[in-house]
Structure 1
Amino acid sequence: MIHISARPRTYDLFINGNWRKPGSSGHDTIHNPATGDVLAKVAVATEADVQHALEAAQAAFPAWSRRVATGRADTLYRLIELIRRDSEKLARIITSENGKPLKEARIEVGFAIELIRFAAENVRRLEGNIIPGSRPGEKILIEKIPHGVVAGISAWNFPLALTARKLGPALAAGNTFVIKPHELTPLSTFALAELSVEAGFPKGVFNVVTGGGATVGNALVTNPITKLITMTGSTPAGRKIMAAASEGLKEVRLELGGKAPFIVMEDADIEKAVDAAVAARFMNCGQVCTANERTYVHTAVYDEFLTRLRTKVAALKTGDPLDEATDMGPKISAAELEKVDAIVQKAIGQGAKVELGGRRLTGGAYDAGHFYAPTLLTGVTAEMDIAQDEVFGPVLSLIRVKDFDDAIAQANNSRYGLSAYMFTQNLSNIMRMTNELNFGEIYVNREGGEAAQGFHHGYGDSGIGGEDGQYGLEAYVDTKTIYLNA
């Protein structure tokens, strides 16, 4: 393992374009999940600090919202160039605080660029309408306008990309922005904030407050200055945010958990499907909302699929995420590691069979971090908890299905509805799937990974609203209707 030797930095809050001392002396300690090293000390904001950040964003809003769309886009383009310039540095920050392999962190930086770029490129496509009026000479104008101050609450699994996913469209649409990154992974968001100063962002347009959800998150959600809340995180946290926001009748966008089914039919390209199943399950140590959580394989190809899958999973290299050869790094924390292991042990108790893994990795460098073995389970049934509850870890559950109808029925037997996967060459199956598979985004004959121009959204316990693409950009504007008469 590579240990961080530099003295850990202490971060204040980023408010109104400057570093600001918090109102309390409390700090969170940020650890490297692979090594246990202390990376930084980060300020814990008070409610008064959140108020200062929101007031700064509110003060910056009039001038920023009146700036022409291309002017706002140009500011975002300057930020993109700086992210590109510092891409390797940012990737290493992501790896150090999150634990994902460096090669995956580089992909995340690239995705962050694409998310901001789409927002900048499409800001002039936030178009209104002119409708004939009901009186002679009257025109009805429906104009798209920014909400005002947008509050973002982000998760730890993609610390840079999730900030970029909210920052880009919020600012492009003319809003100002305050974000609370997750308390485990705030460093890449702070790095982005520093780049925003270099990019020439006006003071108050982008603010970062850190700390826990109970204090900082709740203060952001309930403050009357906040007009729109965009949150990525767990379903229980999303419910709390929605309840708190309801008091102020605030608009809420929630991207929450997932339990993606991965369906492999008898006519699928088996090698391609195996590669995709592994990629969709073990990327970022399985800590992805779109991850392959339930793998349904047609009985005609089940044995062949299992044989190839076992070989592929066994070949995964788990270890130092800064090593270019590493396929999978650690879990984000000890609590997350214990949660995953408890899910696996319960599945075993309910009758699942461990083909590979099923345990924490120990010994040598593994003892310093939160490493779990890539795990393959068979004998999983729909009645088991592991088939219903989100695992969010490196555990692939393989389930035999008898036909297409069985696969669809089991896949839809979930309270989540974010992502799904389908491998088949049968056009009839594909056409039926578009109508019958109840998930917001479906990957056909490919691994996961949203595109910046797509629309990332789910149903049920996976949240409300959505992000990315033109549909996601539209969420960051409101409408104003004007009955225009001379």
Structure 2
Amino acid sequence: MTIQTMRDFGIGAGQLYIGGRWVESASSDRREIHNPTDESPVATVASSSIEDADRAVAAARKAQPAWGAATPMERATLLHKLAGLIDENAEPLAQLLTAEGGKLLSESRIDVGFSSALLRYAAESARRLQGEILPGEGRDEQIWIQRVPYGVVAGITAWNFPAALFARKVGPALVTGNTIVVKPHELTPLTTLVLGELCRRAGIPDGVVNIVVGDGRTVGAHLVSHKGTDLISMTGSVRAGGEIYALGAEQIKPIRLELGGKAPFIVMDDADIDKAVEAAVTSKFFFGGSVCTCNDRMYLHRKIHDQFMDKFIAKVNALKVGDPTTDVNVGPRISNVEVEKLKKMVARALEQNATLVSEAKPTGSTFERGHWFFPTVFSVSSNDVDIMREETFGPVIAAMAVEDFDQALAYANDSEYGLSAYVFTRDNRKIMRSVNELHFGEIYVNRPSGESPHGFHTGYRKSGLGGEDGQHGIEGFMRKKTLYNNYA
């Protein structure tokens, strides 16, 4: 397979997208991006400086008044063009995404497809940017509540979904009249940079979208604390989200955070077991578990525990691990740091008396290079062990038996996280109890994971603030302005 590179799209090794142009970074530092499959070099990119971030913010501020003055439909037209260009370049984008991030090519195609769907939803929302008119207290007076753009958005994205997360920030920001500076994760910047070139080809005005590449604790932190950014939208880890929250607090800056998860997967004794098993495997091992919404701990009614686990383990053992461009189910981890983290989690689980019930072992030359970790399944008898409390973000899962739905709910809610949860039952009363008693922002009932562009993706507790997607996600990129209009 011949993978297109940044250079195929006209992007140089040290270039950033600022002010509608490809410009050289002010820093001579460069970062080598390696393929997680075999550690081979994929591309060299700039390692942006503070000066680069300042230039990007200045370009965004300069462009915002004219962009904000455009009609929502004018802005939507350009977003539709961008979505069309993504579709036209879907395969090269997917191949590049797999090369830099190790995601299965089939999963990369989903990532790219979801990005264009998110942009189209944002564009379609242009006709639904509504204000309110209320009667005033006095005669000849009305109260107008307008929704207006913040100004300049800083969009900081994670490494696991470069295309979709770019669209999740850019679409809502642009359709509501904001301009944006995007900082992709330093491990996976290539797809985002190519998307910047597609923004240029779509005719999005100079400075409306800007992209800088660099370390989160330097360039990212500078964008958060910069007096020229008005709203921060970040997807990433709880650690990084906490640091960003603290930085933004210095200026009382609005912060929207989509962070980690530890999704409980509850299966009751009346559930369709085969359907639940299939969803459990899919929801755990999509992108090898490197998804914040993935199935990360299973609570199985004692009556069906053994039956479920026998079928689940059989399916896990049948998963093929290998080169993500081939017909496999699980690819490499993004980095060796992630591999070592998982190794420590497994060792800690064994120390805490978790039972290892399935662990695949690498064989063959494919795994001599690259960042590999194989599907691993534990059984536990306590909800207090680390493997049931800490986000794994990898192909490691633990399960425990519960006596009833009450116990499952209690264990599920006993967590610092509150992003996603799964419930499998045919009992509508239990489903309604899940609505009222399961304290998570997103619940999947009798189905595997997977958001829709018009849903609302939001977390509770340490899983984040704000939320994304749908009408409510778009509203997060606007603030309200109240006008008391006396026309006497």
Query: Is the TM-score greater than 0.5?
Result: yes
Alpha carbons 1:313, 1:374 under 8 Å: kept: yes
Which of 55, 64, 73 lines up with 1:52 in the alignment?
A: 55
Aligned-pair CA distance for 1:3: 9.2
Partner SS, residue 329 of structure 1: coil
Superposition pairs of residues 357-368 of structure 1, within 5 angstroms: 357=359, 361=362, 363-368=364-369
* Structure 1 CA distance for aligned equivalents of residues 125 and 25 of structure 2: 37
Aligned equivalent of 1:185? 188
Partner SS, residue 270 of structure 2: coil
Aligned-pair CA distance for 1:5: 10
Aligned equivalent of 1:462? 463
* Structure 2 CA distance for aligned equivalents of residues 91 and 402 of structure 1: 45
1:183 partner letter: E
Structure 2: 5+ residue stretches without partners: none
Root mean square deviation, CA, Å: 1.5
* Structure 1 CA distance for aligned equivalents of residues 138 and 152 of structure 2: 36
* Structure 1 CA distance for aligned equivalents of residues 336 and 343 of structure 2: 11
Aligned equivalent of 2:87? 84
Aligned-pair CA distance for 1:261: 0.0
Aligned equivalent of 2:231? 228
Confirm or deny that 1:308 pairs with 2:284: no
Alpha carbons 2:380, 2:399 under 8 Å: kept: yes
Bigger mean CA deviation after superposition, 393-402 or 466-475: 393-402
Confirm or deny that 1:344 pairs with 2:346: yes
Partner SS, residue 182 of structure 2: strand
Q: Please, what TM-score do these two structures have when normalized by structure 1?
A: 0.97
Q: 1:3 to 1:373 in 2, by over 3 A?
A: farther
Question: What is the percentage of aligned positions where both structures have the same residue?
Answer: 49
Aligned equivalent of 2:207? 204
Alpha carbons 1:4, 1:39 under 8 Å: kept: no
Aligned equivalent of 2:484? 483
2:161 partner letter: F
Alpha carbons 1:412, 1:438 under 8 Å: kept: yes
* Structure 2 CA distance for aligned equivalents of residues 220 and 201 of structure 1: 22
Superposition pairs of residues 229-268 of structure 1, within 5 angstroms: 229-268=232-271
Structure 1: 5+ residue stretches without partners: none
The CA deviation string for residues 97-120 of structure 1, in whole angstroms up to 9 with x for no partner, is 111111111111111111111110
Which of 314, 335, 352 lines up with 1:333 in the alignment?
A: 335
Partner SS, residue 297 of structure 1: strand
Confirm or deny that 1:320 pairs with 2:323: yes
Q: 1:97 to 1:137 in 2, by over 3 A?
A: same
* Structure 2 CA distance for aligned equivalents of residues 142 and 380 of structure 1: 54
Aligned-pair CA distance for 1:380: 4.9
* Structure 2 CA distance for aligned equivalents of residues 154 and 4 of structure 1: 23
Aligned-pair CA distance for 1:374: 1.0
The CA deviation string for residues 266-325 of structure 1, in whole angstroms up to 9 with x for no partner, is 0111011001000111110100000111011111111110111111001111101001x1
Confirm or deny that 1:276 pairs with 2:279: yes
Aligned equivalent of 2:394? 393
Partner SS, residue 339 of structure 2: helix
Q: Please, what TM-score do these two structures have when normalized by structure 2?
A: 0.97
Confirm or deny that 1:42 pairs with 2:22: no
Aligned-pair CA distance for 1:7: 10
Partner SS, residue 294 of structure 1: strand
Aligned equivalent of 1:370? 371
* Structure 2 CA distance for aligned equivalents of residues 335 and 274 of structure 1: 30
Aligned-pair CA distance for 1:428: 1.1
Alpha carbons 1:358, 1:376 under 8 Å: kept: no
1:385 partner letter: D
Alpha carbons 1:3, 1:37 under 8 Å: kept: no
Aligned equivalent of 2:299? 296
* Structure 2 CA distance for aligned equivalents of residues 195 and 6 of structure 1: 14
Superposition pairs of residues 104-253 of structure 1, within 5 angstroms: 104-253=107-256
Partner SS, residue 10 of structure 1: coil
The CA deviation string for residues 139-195 of structure 1, in whole angstroms up to 9 with x for no partner, is 111111100000011100111101111100000100001010000000110111011
Aligned-pair CA distance for 1:135: 2.0
Aligned-pair CA distance for 1:379: 2.6
Alpha carbons 1:94, 1:105 under 8 Å: kept: yes
Q: 1:431 to 1:6 in 2, by over 3 A?
A: closer
Aligned-pair CA distance for 1:13: 1.1
